[in-house]
A = this chain, B = another copy of it.
Amino acid sequence: MLLLRRCHSLTRFGPLNTQRLQVAPAVASCAGRLWSSSSSSEDQRSYQRAHGPSWRHGLAGLLAGTGAVLAYGLHHHKAEQEDTIRVQALEKTSAFPIFSQEEVTSHRSLEDGVWVTYKGGVYDITEFVAMHPGGDKILLAAGGALEPFWALYAVHNQEHVLEMLSEYKVGELSAEDLKKQKTIQTSDPYSSDPERHPVLHINNLKPFNAEPPPEILSDSFITPSAFFFKRNHLPVPPVDPASYQLMVEGLPGGVLTLSLEELKTRFPKHTVTATLQCAGNRRSEMNKVKQVKGLNWGIAAISNATWSGARLRDVLLAAGYGPDVAQRALHVQFEGLDKDVTGTTYGASIPLNKAVSEEGDVLLAYEMNGADLPADHGYPVRVVVPGTVGARNVKWLGKIIVSADESSSHWQQNDYKGFSPGTDWDTVDFKSAPAIQELPIQSAITTPADGAVVDRSLEDVTVKGYAWSGGGREVVRVDVSLDGGKTWQVAQLKSSEKGQAPEPSPPPGRAWAWKLWEVTAPLPPEAQELEIVCKAVDNSYNMQPDTVAPIWNLRGVLSNAWHRVTVKIREDESEE
């Protein structure tokens, strides 16, 4: 039934293609799909979703490197073998004309047609260009092989993408040119990514996205850099510190260029302890309500570190910032040195008033936890915007632009925004929501883990976790419940390493670091199971929402409902 419906829906596209191709790709693709009907039902569902009116936006998110992509690298070899079998299977049912690379290369525009090759097949994707979730970028692949692009955007390595591609097949690449293509080794843009600590839980390998085990988080106020969650949008760029240059644009003094040495010596070194959190932290809880687009983060896409560097304010003043600038400029844009194949860099912006405020504490950081920034965290220079969502803390910083406008980057305009639970990919208007900057109040239970078993003989249970709020709002209280939220007790807050004196209270509006918390409570005598819940309060008395569903949003960001874990109590058998 499902298969029939698919073939039916594809015939809508069929005539359009046949006019151009003189073959019947709809038939071919249905044939191909007859083969692929043995794939998992999950694949079928995701294919259906992808072909619904919402697939375009959905894929846009995925393409941006923020999607729940296959762990391309890990499974690369196996996937390659499977792809070849699949492509061969797709081809069995029809004979295609043979094209030379030269003929393919002559189709590089909408006027001449847009052709690409993939594993020896030739595809005319002219009609698809307008539908491509990643937009015009697809034209960069025109006339050539898709493989290097798909190595960068691993999201494409999915069954339904291959199925879509098969609809556009028009021929096969000559054996000679295919051989030539294969000799040009596809270089892996992620080949210079650094080694990572194996304890990290990898949500995506390329680009690298990983979080530490939650129980590690609450063991130290400062997260060791190796365990600090990693969230890259693109390959880690190798940067030579000797030739590194930071450009500052958009100010009356013209472009200011600073070497790493100048950044370190011309400006006072300022140190800030600040927590960074990914907008997608705790996304997995939203997925339980209804599937969202994005990496399936657990509760540990948040960490706390000490950052040192020049104050952005000081650098902007040196570059000519003054009150006159504030009359025309509203934003400070950042561009990373990490690039996609088109040369587009990662980008984001923050409000100008945050950037220039003496109390904003925005850093151009060159140290993390007292050492040079690690490669994964932006070596040699990154922006640290305390109190602000991770995505604006641009790593491998290349350029600063003071502007009347927000960053035009995908990540500022069409990602990292919150929407109503009633908004879906059909109705979403990204212009209607502000880019996430300050994050809302957050807390989670790091131990015990969900599903843990506690011995009755222990009498007490100790619950630990973290709490943090954006915008420099200090966490003033964490309430913990053992009975699903019926009764509450107040946890003890910690704002320093164990055994060390608590750090002095931060000035108002500058509480950038999280608080760890802990509560030890007697096991309720009658309970066989505990539903442990935590909720935090900041000094603006913002509270976390009770439940996930009413804050669900299609990108799965801003997941900050009460955190809940269920723990079983094992009765002491000797007592029975």
Interface on A for B, CB 8 Å cutoff? 351, 353-354, 359, 418, 420-423, 433-434, 436-441, 470-471, 473, 476-477, 479, 485, 487-490, 507-509, 535, 537, 539-547, 550-551, 558, 560
Contact = CB atoms under 8 A, between A and B. Distances in A.
Nearest to A433: B476
Given A437-B540, A509-B353, A545-B544, A420 B489 contact: yes
Given A353-B508, A438-B473, A546-B546, 8 more contacts: A353-B507, A433-B477, A437-B539, A437-B540, A535-B550, A540-B542, A541-B558, A545-B546
Contacts of A418: 477, 537, 541
Contact of A423 (B437, B471, B490): B490
Contacts of A436: 541
Contact of A542 (B422, B440, B476): B440
A433 B474 CA distance: 12
B540 A488 contact: no
Q: How many copies does the complex hold?
A: 2
B544 A488 contact: no
Nearest to A351: B508
A547 B485 CA distance: 11
A341 to B, nearest CB: 33
Given A535-B550, A546-B547, A550-B546, A540 B487 contact: no
A421 B537 CA distance: 12
Contacts of A434: 476, 539
A473 B353 CA distance: 14
Contacts of A547: 546
Contact of A438 (B438, B488, B540): B540
Residue among A354, A473, A543 facing the most chain B CB atoms (10 A cut-off): A543
A-B pairs with lowest CB-CB distance, top 7: A546-B546, A438-B540, A351-B508, A422-B488, A440-B542, A542-B542, A543-B545
A359 B326 CA distance: 13
Contact of A439 (B470, B540, B546, B558): B540
Nearest to A279: B541
Contacts of A477: 418, 420, 433
A11 to B, nearest CB: 34
24 contacts: A354-B508, A418-B477, A420-B477, A420-B479, A422-B489, A434-B476, A434-B539, A437-B539, A438-B473, A439-B541, A440-B540, A440-B541, A440-B543, A441-B542, A470-B540, A471-B471, A479-B550, A488-B550, A543-B545, A543-B550, A543-B551, A545-B545, A546-B546, A546-B547
Nearest to A417: B541
A430 to B, nearest CB: 13
Nearest to A546: B546
A327 to B, nearest CB: 12
A230 to B, nearest CB: 23
A362 B520 CA distance: 43
Nearest to A552: B488
A547 B354 CA distance: 34
Nearest to A427: B490
B422 A490 contact: yes
A331 B551 CA distance: 37
A293 B508 CA distance: 29
Which of A351, A354, A509 is packed against the most chain B CB atoms within 10 Å?
A509
